[in-house]
Amino acid sequence: MDVIAAISTGGALAAIGIVRVSGEGCFALCDRVFQPAAGGRFSQARPREMVLGRAADREGRWVDDCLAVRFPGPCSYTGEDCAEFHCHGSPVVLGEVLRALFAAGARQAERGEFTKRAFLNGRMDLTQAEAVIDLIEAETAPAARNAVEQLGGALRRRIEGIYSRLLTVASQFYAVVDYPDEDIEPPDRAAILAALTAAEGDLSALLATARRGRLLRRGAPAAILGRPNAGKSSLLNALLGYDRAIVTDVAGTTRDTVEERAVVGGVLLRLIDTAGIRDAADQVERLGVERAKAAAAGAELALLVLDGSQPMTEEDRAALAAAALAPRRLVLVNKRDLPLRLALEELAGETVLSVSARTGEGLSELEAAVAALFPAGEAPEGQLLTNDRQVEAAERAAAALRGAREALEGGLTPDAVLSDAERALSALGELTGRTLREDLTARIFERFCVGK
């Protein structure tokens, strides 16, 4: 493969910036750009040790004092010869070093091309490659831990266990199907059925992790509901730590949904501030109320905000009914800094928290309650399906496995069972990249930034 180069640390000002190079012949190419301070050639420096030296621009002029390190393949990130320049983090300096590498013979790396080469060179499978971008994009500590465990091969090992069991099953049918005229004893039907059933159960358990995986990566939709002026927008602003939504004493200020992401109790929430639920006075506000109810129906969590300084109203009860559409809900009695006039006995059976969006009182209790509603679950970290591609492939594998089991139970010929088993193997192979589809891998690496 040709030599590629890119800035791996983005375009913002920083103390340190990294330029990455990879490909056969990249060390000799780097010799034209970097001169070790101790003399000699960079291409002869000890592997995996930082070397102090000077980087030059395209004209050979000194542009930076920096550190460089070389990683001979195959023991490198990409599996081929790879080098990095750790420069001062000026975008100008990094750009000059990169252009010098281009002048020496490298080309601009495409999005995700370093990780794609790592996959193609067998340094990681597709689940590990996807874990790289998940780790970069992680917004919570649990999401980062799951991604790093997946990068270490936790999900691959779980999938390979199912693949290996199914391959054993399929292999027992090959001889019967390939040599029908030979007097070959058919496989033990009961043992095969047990193996297929066990593999199907393993896949069902894996698919059950998808919801938790999506929540870790994308965040849980959380609809903030309540009647006008209950303090919904104030709560959104308090959880975000800045004024995102307009807050006034005028009822009906919020007429559409406002969505922002925030980490609450260690859980990534996609907070959705909604219009106040009431009998709206005009068509625009009515549409806002309808969207509020739709947001509740599609949310993982409803945060119902009630004005604790006022008695319960019919609008509050309507908002409570809307909150009941979500699988989880918390009732937040807001304005605890004012005298309580809300009759709490009307909220029997609900999880009720007393808060003040204005002063921040009670928000720590809210964080603890949110954390309790979204526990880590039984699946070990790193063994969660975290994106639609993985889920779709696992669902196809499960459907094919079900077909193989039903074919065996129905007494169909071995080739019918084998056909479904092979489809399941192919789908499982897509999960890890064992079954390579160029369009699929191209789509995966489009998610990456340049330089990774």
Coil, strand or helix at 13: coil
pLDDT at 279 over 60: no
pLDDT value of residue 254: 44
Would you place residue 250 in the very low, low, confident or very high pLDDT band (cuts 50, 70, 90)?
A: very low
Longest dimension (CA), the chain: 89
CB atoms within 10 A of CB 389: 16
Output the six-digit token pair for 87: 């420069």
Output the six-digit token pair for 290: 């309808």
* Range in 39-48, 272-281, 282-291, 383-392 the model is least confident about: 282-291
Q: Which of 300, 310, 308, 313 is nearest to 355 (CA)?
A: 308
d(CA 149, CA 168): 27
pLDDT at 158 over 90: yes
d(CA 329, CA 252): 23
pLDDT at 141 over 70: yes
pLDDT at 284 over 60: no
pLDDT at 60 over 50: yes
pLDDT value of residue 365: 94
- Quick one: what percent of the chain has pLDDT higher than 90? 52
pLDDT value of residue 98: 96
pTM (2 d.p.): 0.81
CA distances from 28 to 21, 35, 68, 101, 244 (A): 11, 12, 14, 11, 53
Instruction: List, for residues 96-131, the tens digit of each pLDDT value.
Output: 999 999 999 999 999 999 999 999 999 999 999 999
pLDDT value of residue 142: 87
The whole-chain average pLDDT of the chain stands at: 86
Output the six-digit token pair for 166: 């199914």
Would you place residue 251 in the very low, low, confident or very high pLDDT band (cuts 50, 70, 90)?
A: very low
CB atoms within 10 A of CB 246: 11
pLDDT value of residue 105: 94
Q: Which of 393, 367, 229 is nearest to 301 (CA)?
A: 367
**Residue 68 and residue 50 in contact, taking contact as beta carbons nearer than 8 Å:** yes
Coil, strand or helix at 431: helix
